[in-house]
Chain A
Amino acid sequence: MNKPQAAGMPPSQQRIRERVERGLARRYRAERRFRAYGLMAALSGLLFVAFLFLSIISTGYTAFVQTYVRIDVRFDPELIDPEGNRSEEALRMGDYGGVLKQAIREQFPGVEGRRELRQLYNLVSEIAAFDLRDRVLDDPALVGQTREFWLIASDDIDQLVKGKIDRALAEEQRVVSDLQLGWLDALTRDDRVERRFNRVFFTAGDSREPEQAGVLGAIVGSFLTLLVTLLLSFPIGVAAAVYLEEFAPGNRFTDLIEVNINNLAAVPSIVFGLLGLAVFIQFFGVPRSAPLVGGLVLTLMTLPTIIIASRAAIKAVPPSIREAALGMGASQVQVVAHHVLPLAMPGMLTGAIIGMARALGESAPLLMIGMVAFIADIPASLTDPATVLPVQVFLWADSPERAFLERTSGAIIVLLAFLLVMNAAAVVLRHRFERRW
């Protein structure tokens, strides 16, 4: 179509046309290249997401199972209750560690020598002795009998069974000795080794021993901290947003408040930790390491998020509703309380959930105010020393034991699951209650 027309052009235009057409191939190549860069960038972003999740999940999913060993346990009355009065007090004081060792010795009668015996005892975790004690306390009739029990294996054996320790390595290079390997193989042949759901991981607090360590303490700590944060930051944030949107006069002072809120949203979180340390702990004497002070610091951190989200929600309520209410004789406070707030509530709640999700993942400011202490107990009140999930991840990531590696990833999976639920809740809330005016 174009060719004949081109033939009729004056020569100068034709030259331009030729130059343009000569350049076209190059320009189209550049176009394709540019487009490919864009696609590569987007795909590499996706690749990072996939790689991150795969690496966390592949190291972490084994934390949810734990190796157990089946052993015949004889509840020797001599060890448990030498005086024979069977009172709860006496049963509580019994030597269950001895019972455990005896049971393991009887499983492998040929083993002698202190070093060999120590290795043998290391097959099973020390926590198993407490397990035995609890069973006897539940059922005192067990004393004197022999029963078969699934006992929790030690962390090294657990890692070996999960294939995280390479059997092919030379003996000096692995934490499990050849003798232990042999015993474990003998147990496996007898069907005495099994992997089960890791209940301890979800029901225990922190511990120095990986097989006894759990995330419950951190989860409760996170819950208490977020409770304080939510109870303070939601009402204050909504009130501030209402003031700025509905009542504030348009003057310098209001501008100052707005600038402050926007800047606080971008201040590094660690600076809030410094504030918490200097003001809450040093000046007001709030107890260190407690969910209370953690919640206060996170409140100051999440307030800007909640204020900004709440303002957007209030702005989305059409002015006609306010005008109608004012026309009916309602005062400004009544307009806000009876009409604007209920209509803006879903948007505000969405903002609050997103703010809480961010607070749940935050750890840097909490390091400053002492929530990094090793705490084995599960916190029961707002002033008990506690730690939170992300800080627990940080603590475990520093531990040298191999088994803590998978537990760290396991704790991360738990944390990400909570975040996923919260964000999904925010999305659902937005979709269900969003109103288009």
Chain B
Amino acid sequence: MQTSTLILVLLVLAAVSYRFGRARSLKVAGGARGARNLHSLPSHYGLLTAIWCALPALVVVIGWQAFDNRIITERIVSTMPAEMRELPPGEMSLVLNDVRNLVAGNTPPDSATPEVTAAAAQWQRLEGLSRMAAAVLALCVAIGGGWFALSRIKPALRARNSVERVVRWALLGCSLIAILTTVGIVLSVLYESLQFFRMVPVTEFIFGTQWSPQLAIRADQVGSSGAFGAVPLFAGTLLISFIAMAIAVPVGLFSAIYLAEYASRGFRAVTKPLLEVLAGIPTVVYGFFAALTVAPLLRSAGEQLGLQVASESALAAGLVMGIMIIPFVSSLADDMITAVPQSLRDGSYGLGATRSETIRKVVLTAALPGIVGGVLLAVSRAIGETMIVVMAAGLSANLTANPLEAVTTVTVQIVTLLVGDQEFDSPKTLAAFALGLVLFIVTLTLNVIALHVVRRYREQYE
């Protein structure tokens, strides 16, 4: 039986046991009029029976699902001829892949070697057996659980309390997913990175100035060294982020000031949502815009001025990234400015200050921590932004501070290293995870600091 059908059957069984449990509770209470003798509502007894029926069985199914593939693989390997069993792990996984493809019908059966065909037949037999066993076990558990719950139903049984305990645990489980995700990110990235640092020393990765991750296919190949010094990537990321912030901070901050302090109600009502449209546009659209519109514009403008502008210049990517971040900065700054109490402004006006003086010397000073926090969040955004730089920035790792040249960034390299099929033990693939680890640590630090600052600031005026 397919797992999906099995789960469907279990759900039907749960629905049936709900009816049974409900009916049973009414019966032990002595009909519909006796329901007041029950501790809980009849539907609670039904729910309790359904939970007893479905929950343990689902645990069995999921546990089985998690392990059966591994057990089958082990059995298959142990029945293979001796010379195949002693293959190195890399080739072994290739053979197993062949077997799996044959089982799935992706490869025609006549193209496989006899050993693979035999293994595939064995695989199919074991898989059928395993599915059968899973179905039988799950159904037994379901019926047994339902039966047990039915037999316990008495008027004094506190069914509601039990059901609600299960609900609470389920809710807690759902909120734990946030922690699990963080743990998953840290563990997966860290594990692969540690493997990478076993091949390439940490110091070389962090302080090296050469980045050319192409590994040799043949030993005598030219330029095949595979250098993993990430400094050019960090420099490129910082350069592009700096350009982006140089656009986004002034424009975002000034438009927030204007909208919060000067603009008429009508102007604000029209302009604010229009600016926020920029935040809702997918980044791939910005990437396309940067590569196809902004970069050629900059190039021809540079030619007019007699400057050499690379077609994948840092300037184009940074400029467009800056446009993308404007609404982020402006809406955060707007929040911070409007949170400054009116009494501070009134005091400043009372001393004879003009509006701009009040804004510069009182409002902005008061809102500064919040704005700094917002800018830090925006920086972390810029560092982690991927699509714009993948489409508009270069691939070659130049260590330069000239915004007219092409640079590459951490995220671009992660994408180029991981797109396409790769084996998981080459330093080239693992390098992407090491870069991901750096990216995660840097953005996490920025976020923690920024959130802390913003929260402190908000509490100040509440």
Contact = CB atoms under 8 A, between A and B. Distances in A.
B381 to A, nearest CB: 8
Interface residues on B, range: 35 or more
Contacts of A44: 251, 255
B189 A419 contact: no
B255 A397 contact: no
Contacts of B443: 266-268, 271
Contacts of B69: 285
B274 A390 contact: no
Contact of A260 (B160, B178, B188, B352): B178
A39 B69 CA distance: 64
B284 A333 contact: no
Contacts of B242: none
Nearest to B414: A270
Contacts of B281: 52, 361, 416, 419
A364 B439 CA distance: 14
Contacts of A360: 282
B284 A361 contact: yes
Interface in A251-281: 256-257, 260-264, 266-275, 277-279
Contacts of B288: 56, 393, 397, 408-409, 412
B292 A405 contact: yes
Nearest to B359: A34
A268 B385 contact: yes
Interface string B156-187: 00001001100110111011111101101100
A398 to B, nearest CB: 8
A409 B390 CA distance: 18
A364 B258 contact: no
Interface stretch (A74-82, A240-248, A318-326): A240-248
Contact of B284 (A27, A48, A261, A363): A363
A372 interface: yes
A42 B255 contact: yes
Interface residues of A, number: 85
Chain B interface main SS type? helix
A425 interface: no
A282 interface: yes
Contact of B383 (A268, A269, A390, A409): A268
B436 A244 contact: no
B251 A41 contact: yes
A384 interface: no
A277 B429 CA distance: 11
B254 A40 contact: yes
B441 to A, nearest CB: 10
Interface in B19-74: 69
A38 interface: yes
Interface string B262-278: 11000000010011011
B384 interface: yes
A41 B69 CA distance: 60
A268 B384 contact: yes
A198 B88 CA distance: 54
Interface string A400-423: 000001001100100110010001
Contacts of B261: 38
A368 interface: yes
A423 B280 CA distance: 9
Contacts of B174: 235-237, 239-240, 243
Contacts of B359: 34
B262 A35 contact: yes
A260 B179 contact: yes
A55 interface: yes
Interface string A2-43: 000000000000000000100000011011011101111110
Given A41-B250, A49-B278, A364-B415, A27 B258 contact: no
B444 interface: yes
Interface in A87-134: none
Contact of B440 (A33, A39, A271, A368): A271
A342 interface: no
- Which one of A41, A264, A372 has the highest number of Cβ atoms from chain B below 10 Å of its Cβ? A41
A332 B281 CA distance: 41
B329 to A, nearest CB: 10
A271 B377 contact: no
B326 A48 contact: yes
Interface stretch (A149-157, A171-179, A184-192, A300-308): A300-308
A368 B185 CA distance: 14
B323 interface: yes
B285 interface: yes
A272 B448 CA distance: 18
B444 A393 contact: no
B234 interface: no
A46 interface: yes
Interface string B334-349: 0000000000000000
B387 A243 contact: no
Nearest to A364: B386
Contact of A278 (B189, B278, B414): B189
6 contacts: A42-B263, A266-B443, A267-B443, A268-B385, A270-B384, A273-B418
Given A268-B384, A270-B411, A303-B177, 18 more contacts: A38-B262, A42-B254, A45-B271, A243-B174, A263-B447, A266-B380, A267-B447, A270-B439, A271-B440, A274-B432, A275-B185, A307-B178, A333-B167, A361-B285, A390-B387, A394-B391, A408-B288, A415-B282
Interface of B: 69, 160, 163-164, 167-168, 170-172, 174-179, 181-182, 184-185, 188-189, 191-192, 250-255, 257-259, 261-263, 271, 274-275, 277-278, 280-289, 291-293, 323, 326-327, 330, 352, 354-357, 359-360, 377, 380-381, 383-387, 390-391, 411, 414-415, 418-419, 424, 432-433, 436, 439-440, 443-444, 447-448, 451
Interface of A: 20, 27-28, 30-31, 33-35, 37-42, 44-46, 48-49, 52, 55-56, 59, 235-237, 239-240, 242-244, 247-248, 256-257, 260-264, 266-275, 277-279, 282-283, 285, 300, 303-304, 307, 331-333, 357, 360-364, 367-368, 372, 390-391, 393-394, 397, 405, 408-409, 412, 415-416, 419, 423
